[in-house]
Homo-oligomer: A and B are copies of this chain.
Amino acid sequence: MGRTSDARERLLQAAIDLIWTHSYASIGVDQICNQAGVKKGSFYHFFPSKTDLALAAYDEHWRSIQPQLDAIFSPLVRPLDRIERWCDALYQHQKALHAQFGRVCGCPYANVGTEIGSQDERIRSKISELFGRAQQYLESALRDLAAEGLSSAREVRATASAIHSCELGLLVRAKVANDPEVLRELGPAVRRLLGLKAPSRIAA
C-alpha cells in the first residue's frame, strides 16, 4: 500500500560517497539530502538519526563490494594468487578514486572508525564487524595456502591479522601522503609476512 520511493537508496549512496571523500562530522544531513535530491523531512522519515543512516550505509556498502571480494577470493583461484589479486585490486581501486576526486580516500571503514569510534559505540561496533568479515577472506586463503604447504597452518589468524593491519596502515599512509602509489608496497609487504623472500625480482 501507499506509494514507493528509492529515496532511501539514494540517501545511502550519497552518504557513502560524501563521507568517504570527506569525513563523517564534516558532512551534514543537509548536504547528504542535497546530493540525494531528498528533502530533510523525507530523510527523517527513513532514518531516525544520522547515526542510523551511517550504519545502514556501511551495511549497504559491504553488500555492494562483497561480490567483488567473492570473485577475488574464489576458491578456484590458487590462494597466493587470490592475495596478489586482492593487493592489486586495492591499489587500482584507490587509484581510480584518486583520479576521480583528486585525493586518496582510504578505507571508508577505517576512516569513520578512527574518527568516531571513540564517540559512537554502535558505529564502532559495526566497523569492527566489517573488519572481521574482511579478515575472514584472508584467513580462508591462508588456510588453503597452508594446505599447499606454502605457509604454516598454525599461524593463520596471526598472519591474516598482520596482513590486514598492513593494508589498513598503508591506506592511512596513502591518504596522508595523498599518493595512491604508496599502496604498491602492499604486495611486497604481504610476501614478507608470508615468509616468501623471493618475489618477482624482474619487476622490482
Contact = CB atoms under 8 A, between A and B. Distances in A.
A103 B118 contact: yes
A94 interface: no
Contacts of A177: 128, 131
A1 interface: no
A193 B168 CA distance: 16
Interface in A107-125: 109-111, 113-119, 124
Contacts of A165: 165-166, 169-170, 172-173, 185, 189
Interface in A133-180: 158-159, 161-162, 164-173, 175-178
B116 A114 contact: no
Most chain B CB inside 10 Å of its own CB: which residue of A104, A165, A175, A185: A165
Contacts of A193: 189, 192-193
A133 to B, nearest CB: 13
A76 interface: no
Q: How many copies does the complex hold?
A: 2
Contact of A110 (B114, B116, B124, B192): B114
Nearest to A104: B118
A176 B127 contact: yes
A15 interface: no
Given A162-B189, A170-B165, A176 B115 contact: no
Q: Which 8 residue pairs spanning A and B have beta carbons closest together?
A: A169-B169, A25-B25, A165-B169, A168-B169, A113-B176, A162-B189, A165-B170, A115-B115
Interface of A: 21-26, 103-106, 109-111, 113-119, 124, 127-128, 131, 158-159, 161-162, 164-173, 175-178, 185, 188-189, 192-193, 195, 197
Given A22-B118, A106-B114, 13 more contacts: A110-B176, A113-B172, A114-B115, A117-B178, A118-B178, A127-B176, A162-B166, A162-B189, A166-B166, A168-B168, A169-B169, A169-B171, A192-B192
